[in-house]
Amino acid sequence: MGQKDAQHEVACDDALPLEALIDRLVAFHRRKSVGALADDAGLVAFQQRIEGEVTALEPLLIGEEDRHRLASLREWLDQDVQRLASVFLERRDRLLAASWAVEHPESRLCDEGRVLLANAIGRDLLGPGADGILDPGNDLAALLVGLEARGETALARQALDRYLRLSGDYGMARLLSVFRVVEALAGARRALERRRTAGEDAERPALLAETMRACHEYLTLAESYAEFRFPPLVIGIGVSGSGKSRFTRTLVSRLGAVRVCSDVERRRVHGLDPQDLLTPPAVDIFSREATAQTYHRMAECAGMLLEAGFPACVDGTFLKRDQRDLLRQEAEARGLPVLLVSFEADEATLRRRIEKRAGRQGVAPQESLAILEAQQAGFEAIGDEERLHLLRLDTTADNAAETLAGLIQEHVRLT
């Protein structure tokens, strides 16, 4: 191993893998909230950030075309921030006194032996608004833009899905478009500042080409975040052991979907740790009333994701038609495509999967099999109107994951 490789490995030893980073980021944002400030504190701070980034970037641009692109993005930001003003006000008690990056400047994000981002989320510690109050969505946006700018789109999608699922802060999604645009503008500014810092050295022509290419890539990213989208809602239906949870995970990396999972939200609505799926709750979280609360919570979360332009994938058994209708209306009310995906497997496979899972979890397989039988008995058949949106997936088939992604792309024309 060469010296450079050895240094790289040492750096990775001190870095965080993505899942660990997201776990710590969620905990940090929950713990470091400063509580309620002035009603418009978050809105004002973000408007100042916009002004600071645009003012710093504009004189660094060379051509009129780039200045026009910046002006268009600024106009879009002003309009969208105004449209989202009520969301900023609703989130005033979530504001942070400082970014994760400020408190963890030496942290690194590492993936498969590669250091990807400094301060783990790639946030600029010297730029406009670096030391002011901010919505936690700014930290997540910095991470997402940093990954996407490096071609790590799959990791960015995994980060978004995991953060929202663990935090339960699906309302943040409505602000991520404006947050990501500003982070992309910050990336363009930093690229051009590298050229200015280098001065008139012998490598200036090469440096100019490199920094302009990076600037243009960030501007293109910003424009993509500002595009209007028609995201689909995917409703994953299936009894225990059908494979729906495993296969809906593939939609995160393949299609950029964000999952809303019934097992997580069922615990969350009862004030339980959504990650602790093995500790028995003190109350019946599977009663008729508890189940109704769970599905209304999932509908609310899915609606916020769709409103924000993110494909939403809801993972539940959906035994009852009114549960499926409740979720379907979230898309139809917005004029968005909706798909019901029935995850299916033969009886022997269902039982084998359930017994294997029970063994991993240390529970009696008879109990899990009894739940399967109750689910099968209680499932209400797909209605005629639902069939218009229905896809069936045999989860025992070869390449089932690729088949699922292809079918969804074909039906809703995702790109």
pLDDT over threshold 60, residue 22: yes
Give which of 338, 274, 342, 273 is closest to 305, Cα–Cα. Answer: 338
Main-chain phi, psi angles of 235, to 5 degrees? -105, 110
**Across 324-345, average pLDDT:** 95
Q: Of the ranges 10-14, 72-76, 94-98, which is most confident?
A: 72-76
pLDDT over threshold 50, residue 103: yes
SS (H, E, C) 65-106: HHHHHHHHHHHHHHHHHHHCHHHHHHCHHHCECCCHHHHCCC
> What local confidence, expressed as pLDDT, does residue 283 receive?
78
pLDDT over threshold 90, residue 5: no
pLDDT over threshold 90, residue 399: no
9 sits in the region (left: phi over 0; alpha: psi -120 to 50; else beta) called: alpha
Choosing among 2.120.10, 3.40.50, 3.30.70, 3.90.1200, the CATH entry for 3-225 is: 3.90.1200
Q: Tell me the pLDDT tens digit for each residue of 177-236.
A: 999 999 999 999 999 998 776 665 545 677 778 889 999 999 999 999 999 889 999 999
CB count within 10 Å of CB 290 equals 15
> What local confidence, expressed as pLDDT, does residue 11 receive?
44
Q: Tell me the pLDDT tens digit for each residue of 142-178.
A: 999 999 999 999 999 999 999 999 999 999 999 999 9
Checking DSSP bridges between strand 233-237 and strand 338-344, what pairing results, if any? Answer: parallel
pLDDT over threshold 80, residue 72: yes
Q: Quick one: pLDDT band at residue 33, thresholds 50, 70, 90?
A: confident
Q: CB–CB of 302/171 below 8 Å? A: no
> What local confidence, expressed as pLDDT, does residue 9 receive?
39
Interacting residues of 145 by C-beta distance below 8 A, sequence separation 6+: 122, 180, 183, 184, 187, 221
> What local confidence, expressed as pLDDT, does residue 414 receive?
47
pLDDT over threshold 80, residue 6: no
By CB atoms closer than 10 A (0-12, 13-18, 19+), residue 31 is exposed
Mean residue pLDDT of the chain comes to 90
Give which of 146, 188, 176 is closest to 54, Cα–Cα. Answer: 188
Q: Which residues pair with 96 in a beta bridge?
A: 33, 134
**Across 365-388, average pLDDT:** 93
Range list for CATH 3.40.50.300 in the chain? 233-412
pLDDT over threshold 60, residue 7: no
Nearest-angstrom CA–CA distance, 49 and 32: 21
Q: How many helices (H) and strands (E) does the chain have?
A: 18, 7
pLDDT over threshold 50, residue 340: yes
Residue type, 225: Y
Q: Among the listed ranges 83-87, 182-186, 405-409, which one has the minimum average pLDDT value?
A: 405-409
> What local confidence, expressed as pLDDT, does residue 200 receive?
52
CATH dotted code for 233-412: 3.40.50.300
**Which secondary structure element, helix H or strand E, spans residue 237, and what is its range?**
strand 233-237
Instruction: Please give the residue that has the higher pLDDT: either 260 or 195.
Output: 260
Nearest-angstrom CA–CA distance, 341 and 351: 21
> What local confidence, expressed as pLDDT, does residue 273 receive?
86
Interacting residues of 47 by C-beta distance below 8 A, sequence separation 6+: 81
Q: CB–CB of 342/393 below 8 Å? A: yes
Interacting residues of 201 by C-beta distance below 8 A, sequence separation 6+: 207
Main-chain phi, psi angles of 342, to 5 degrees? -90, 115
Range list for CATH 3.90.1200 in the chain? 3-225
List b or e across 129-142, with b for residues whose CB sees 16 or more CB atoms inside 10 angstroms. bbebbbbbbbbbbb
> What local confidence, expressed as pLDDT, does residue 284 receive?
81
> What local confidence, expressed as pLDDT, does residue 24 receive?
95
CB count within 10 Å of CB 375 equals 17
pTM for the whole structure: 0.91
Q: Of the ranges 28-32, 292-296, 360-364, which is most confident?
A: 292-296
pLDDT over threshold 50, residue 10: no
Q: CB–CB of 22/106 below 8 Å? A: no
Q: Tell me the pLDDT tens digit for each residue of 267-276.
A: 999 988 887 7
Nearest-angstrom CA–CA distance, 198 and 206: 12
Hey, what are 109's tokens? 């994000």
122 sits in the region (left: phi over 0; alpha: psi -120 to 50; else beta) called: left
